[in-house]
Structure 1
Amino acid sequence: MFILQQVSYLHPNKDLLFDHIDLSIPAHAKAALIGNNGAGKSTLLKLLAGILTPASGTIHTTGQPYYIPQHFGQYNDLSIAEALHIDHKIKALHSILEGDVSEANMNQLNDDWSIEERSAAALLHWGLQDFPLSQPISTLSGGQKTKAFLAGIAIHEPDIILLDEPSNHLDSHGRALLYELIENTAVTLIVVSHDRQLLQLPDQVYELSKKGITLYGGNYDFYLAQKQVANNAMAQDLKSREKALRKAKETERETMERQQKLDARGKKQQEKSGLPTISMNTFRNNAEKSTARTKGMHEEKVSQLTEALQELRKELPDIDKMKLGFENANLYKGKLLIHAQNINFSYQHSPLWSQPLSFQINSGERLAIKGLNGSGKTTLIKMMLGYINPTTGVLTSQAGKTVYIDQDYSLINNQLSVYDQAQLFNHSALQEHEIKIRLTRFLFTKEYWDKPCSTLSGGEKMRLLLCALTIDPEAPDMIILDEPTNNLDIQNVAILTAAINAYEGTLIVISHDQYFLEEVRAVQSIELK
């Protein structure tokens, strides 16, 4: 179990990430930790794992957590055995079997005589049977690295498992094994993920935000339902406050007009009565004070309502602040865009696919390219884009403007500022203020405009690219997305989904995220084997 009491954390530059966090996760619970990018989810996991130390507060835990990070670059100089912290046991076992039964070797092994067999079985379960424990981590793909660390769960048999975006880079088979692990484990498990299918498995959802941690006692669907109730209430409150502000402004205007008429009428009566100048000045001063007092009262009320409304608008989900949408694609629906007949591609004279591919893609269609890691999905995309030609067969393309959005958002020039990047897509001579209005709609406020794109997160680059595409007056005939949800938080996946669903052109998606494929209606598929 975990108990966090008044935990605060400061970045090395002394910026406060979160303050006085309280959290209690009971033993054997399966909990999902969600929140927007930058909220501190990965940092919180590292605190729970004991890798980081809080600036203040206390963390109580029972048992030693087994932690799987999101990124593995720090392990590239290690072997699989070293990365999984079993190299000393393996070495001691081999020394003992060779006759060195020293006390040091026996203590190191600690009666774990099955360590080697257990490790081999675990690697086999995750499809890594061809990789010896001495294999350098640097030679593994992203998905294979994740699988190696997931294999470590069966090897170490921990009481607590901490997972940071474990489904990133996993193919459909790897994800199925991961979901099975989460469903069947009886130990305490905490997972940070944006994978909506995975998030249905834990029975508790904790949301980390600037307000702290909020517990939702159910899976992700339950969380969404509760958030929808809260968002509906917020929208109703917003509507009510906007109405109150309009009414207050109207009352202020009517009151001031009425006061001005009374003052003018009173002045005429005083002039007719022939009062002395000193009396006239007194009456005028009194009238001005009364008017100012009335005006001040109404201005204060309007100011309070305006401030409350602004604060409430800040609470709106970010997606509700954006204006999403593309201009309609120029190609009419049903036109043949891509035709492939018996195509294949060879690496070192070995064909990539067991059977040549034949298919056609028509304008307006939405389809997914599916296959295990290494099955040639990106190779097929490169052929569609004309970057490479098939080794055998013929592929023809009638597609006009095509936008390819890869995992690294290579369309974004990291050397440019956010504003200059947006300007690259300004082919209709929009004015500077119009570009900045578009950027603001996509949450790039004034402090972002001069920032270099190299400082943006993956989610921010995705939003900037979507913004740029809406600035371009010509919508693409075809959009190709290559693993678009990798490294995006739930909020940015929702933004991407909304933008893609507003697009009426042709869509091709490579993704292992079945939930995302269903949301963007990519129900047809090309299967690679």
Structure 2
Amino acid sequence: MTNPYLTLKGVSYVLSDGRTLFSDLNETFDQRPTGLVGRNGAGKTVLARMLAGQIQPTTGRCLRAGSVRYLAQQVSPPEGSTVADLAGMRHTLDALARIEAGSSAPEDFDAVGDDWDIRQRLRQALERNGLDPLDATTPADTLSGGEAMRVALIGAMLSDADFLILDEPSNHLDRPNRQALIEQLHDWPRGLLVVSHDRQLLESLARIVDLSSLGLRSYGGNYTFYVQSKAQERQTALQQLEQRKLERQREEQAMREQRERQERRLARGSRHGKEANQAKILLDRQKERSEASAGKLRQQHALAQQQLAQRVREAAQQVENEAPIVLHALPIAQAAQRRVVELDEVELPFVTGATRRISLTLSGRQRVGVIGPNGCGKSTLLKVLAGQLGPLAGTCKVTPGSVYLDQRLASLDPSLTALDQLRAANQTATEGKRRMRLAQLGLDAQKIVAASGSLSGGEHLKAALARVLYADPPPQLLLLDEPSNHLDLPSAQALEAMLRSYRGALIVVSHDDAFMDNLDLTDRLLANENGWLLEPW
């Protein structure tokens, strides 16, 4: 199709608990490469899935011209799945294999269609992306988070979809692969919508669409243009709101003075009538006229006050609701131990090459950023340190006061609420403090008592962060694997500030350069072709 598009007409979506997530959205997504941005919980993933046809709006219409391929932000392959499953090619490849084995079933030929070279194209794409050891039958559970995302992206890019919708596609990708993704998307010839908080990726797109409490707003430029335009819009809206408030204040003051003048005139008139010894009937008529005049003035003032209040409300509605995100500094329960990590000739499972073996000693004040390409063993190293995986050889000693946040947030039970899970991790804090800390993370009163699995990706991560960071006793060693993935910019900045103030040992894996640079790290643990190298940050 030459001109694919996705159009929203008066679209609203109401959650199962009755809350309205967004309402009256109107927008058209055409062939311009577009980024969809917004705060965590604004409804970006719901909107992306709606545009892809996976869910329906509560009201309004979503129109699609052409086929749509949607890639979710969490690549979580089920047990027994393969690279072919991740790439979305299993059905076609299985049908091709049956035909090659002698099948003449029409449904197999329909499944293959024109993709007779699909096996070769998949193999070539894996090679181009540096995934040479993999093939269609490689078990998906042997892949790192970054490798799984790269395979899913390969499947999307090899598809003949008229429109790609990618939800946080750069999450888990290392630096070279983030750049490669930008280049691939630049060459994509058809419709493209990318949901992301990745500033570098958003900078490469032609248009940014912002989803907020104000609805959808389109900015015809890259991320820098969007940030500047939105800041100017907010400043203008705040100035307009302040102007309306000042106008209301001046007008109300003028009306008070007018009422006071009228009251003084009435009082003088009443005294003059009595002093002039006027007849009672005249005094009564004068009183009636005065009361009617005062009543008319009150009605006029009441109407004017309503109009002034309405103007203030209308101005306030143009100011986006941006509650600040707060993370509290973490205390250390006791003096940090002299050594928190001791690895002696540890052999990591599932890792090949020079990074398979590591020796490492860390003290309680070291703050280490782990850097390296996808598949080198970064996440596996953290799992070994957390005790979730055993080393194949060597000795591993880690302080018992450690907590671990993995990429897939496996520590969070999706059936339990964020409040329940924080309560289980910290039984000494008051209920009010637990609720306050979740609220300051951007989880409102309804979301903290909703099942964690129903939260957005960013909200889900915040619930997991609260469970890990606010545990009692407080952690002496934090093991964080891609903690800024899915977080909007204000939340990522709050996490950066909290981690800067944290005085315990820290080991963090991230491909976000800006995030890592803001953590006041002391050391860099670099994985390369020669193995692991610990050096000053």
| Distance of 1:300 and 1:268 partners within structure 2 | 31
Matched, 1:369 2:370: yes
Amino acid in the other structure paired with 1:305: L
| Distance of 1:380 and 1:77 partners within structure 2 | 24
Shift of 1:104: 8.4
Within the candidate set 23, 28, 32, 1:23 is matched to 28
TM-score for the superposition, normalised by structure 2: 0.72
Q: Gaps spanning 5+ residues in structure 2: where?
A: 533-537
Amino acid in the other structure paired with 2:371: K
Contact 1:159 1:188 in 2 (8 A): yes
| Distance of 2:424 and 2:279 partners within structure 1 | 69
Listed one character per residue, the Cα deviations across residues 459-486 of structure 1 (whole Å, up to 9, x for unaligned) are 34566788999999x9998876542232
Within the candidate set 490, 499, 504, 2:501 is matched to 504
| Distance of 2:390 and 2:62 partners within structure 1 | 60
Which range moved further: 210-219 or 199-208? Answer: 210-219
RMSD: 5.2
Equivalent residue for 1:59? 63
Amino acid in the other structure paired with 1:368: G
Shift of 1:359: 4.7
Shift of 1:164: 2.2
Shift of 1:233: 0.8
Matched, 1:494 2:490: yes
| Distance of 1:216 and 1:268 partners within structure 2 | 67
Shift of 1:39: 4.9
| Distance of 1:339 and 1:94 partners within structure 2 | 53
| Distance of 2:79 and 2:369 partners within structure 1 | 33
Distance change in 2, residues 1:210/1:288 (3 Å): same
| Distance of 2:106 and 2:114 partners within structure 1 | 12
Listed one character per residue, the Cα deviations across residues 247-285 of structure 1 (whole Å, up to 9, x for unaligned) are 344434444444444444444444433444444444444
Equivalent residue for 1:167? 170
| Distance of 2:262 and 2:467 partners within structure 1 | 51
Distance change in 2, residues 1:288/1:347 (3 Å): same
| Distance of 1:420 and 1:285 partners within structure 2 | 69
Distance change in 2, residues 1:288/1:428 (3 Å): farther
| Distance of 1:385 and 1:215 partners within structure 2 | 44
Distance change in 2, residues 1:421/1:295 (3 Å): farther
Within the candidate set 236, 239, 243, 1:233 is matched to 236
Amino acid in the other structure paired with 2:206: D
Amino acid in the other structure paired with 1:25: D
Equivalent residue for 2:5? 3
Matched, 1:148 2:151: yes
| Distance of 1:417 and 1:325 partners within structure 2 | 16
Shift of 1:125: 3.3
SS in 1 for 2:243: helix
| Distance of 2:325 and 2:96 partners within structure 1 | 63
Listed one character per residue, the Cα deviations across residues 429-469 of structure 1 (whole Å, up to 9, x for unaligned) are 79x6x998887766666656765666544434566788999
Which range moved further: 219-228 or 478-487? Answer: 478-487
Distance change in 2, residues 1:238/1:59 (3 Å): same
Matched, 1:322 2:319: no
SS in 2 for 1:117: helix
Equivalent residue for 2:119? 116
Contact 2:419 2:435 in 1 (8 A): no
Contact 1:80 1:134 in 2 (8 A): yes
Within the candidate set 214, 218, 221, 2:221 is matched to 218
Equivalent residue for 2:205? 202
Contact 2:425 2:470 in 1 (8 A): no
Amino acid in the other structure paired with 1:61: A
SS in 1 for 2:35: strand
Matched, 1:251 2:248: no
SS in 1 for 2:164: strand
Distance change in 2, residues 1:271/1:336 (3 Å): farther
Amino acid in the other structure paired with 1:179: I
| Distance of 2:469 and 2:240 partners within structure 1 | 31
Which range moved further: 43-52 or 8-17? Answer: 8-17
Which range moved further: 117-126 or 127-136? Answer: 127-136
Shift of 1:122: 1.7
SS in 2 for 1:494: helix
Distance change in 2, residues 1:451/1:267 (3 Å): farther
Equivalent residue for 2:194? 191
Which range moved further: 413-422 or 308-317? Answer: 413-422
Amino acid in the other structure paired with 1:356: S
Amino acid in the other structure paired with 2:486: N
| Distance of 2:435 and 2:288 partners within structure 1 | 47
| Distance of 1:475 and 1:250 partners within structure 2 | 55
| Distance of 1:354 and 1:150 partners within structure 2 | 30
Distance change in 2, residues 1:485/1:293 (3 Å): farther
| Distance of 1:292 and 1:308 partners within structure 2 | 24
| Distance of 1:188 and 1:118 partners within structure 2 | 22
Q: How does 1:99-498 map to 2 (within 5 A)?
A: 112-135=115-138, 137=140, 140=143, 142-153=145-156, 155-156=158-159, 160-209=163-212, 213-319=216-322, 321-322=323-324, 324=326, 326=328, 345-346=346-347, 354-360=357-363, 362=365, 368-373=369-374, 375=376, 377=378, 392=395, 408=409, 415=416, 455-460=454-459, 481-488=480-487, 490=488, 493-498=489-494
SS in 2 for 1:356: strand
SS in 1 for 2:165: strand
Which range moved further: 71-80 or 421-430? Answer: 421-430
Distance change in 2, residues 1:367/1:235 (3 Å): farther
Listed one character per residue, the Cα deviations across residues 385-440 of structure 1 (whole Å, up to 9, x for unaligned) are 8999995487679x9xx88666539589975685996999797979x6x9988877
Listed one character per residue, the Cα deviations across residues 118-137 of structure 1 (whole Å, up to 9, x for unaligned) are 22122233444444423455
Which range moved further: 348-357 or 189-198? Answer: 348-357
Amino acid in the other structure paired with 1:207: D
Amino acid in the other structure paired with 2:137: S
Equivalent residue for 2:535? none
Contact 2:418 2:463 in 1 (8 A): no
| Distance of 2:410 and 2:266 partners within structure 1 | 66
Amino acid in the other structure paired with 1:193: S
Amino acid in the other structure paired with 2:121: R
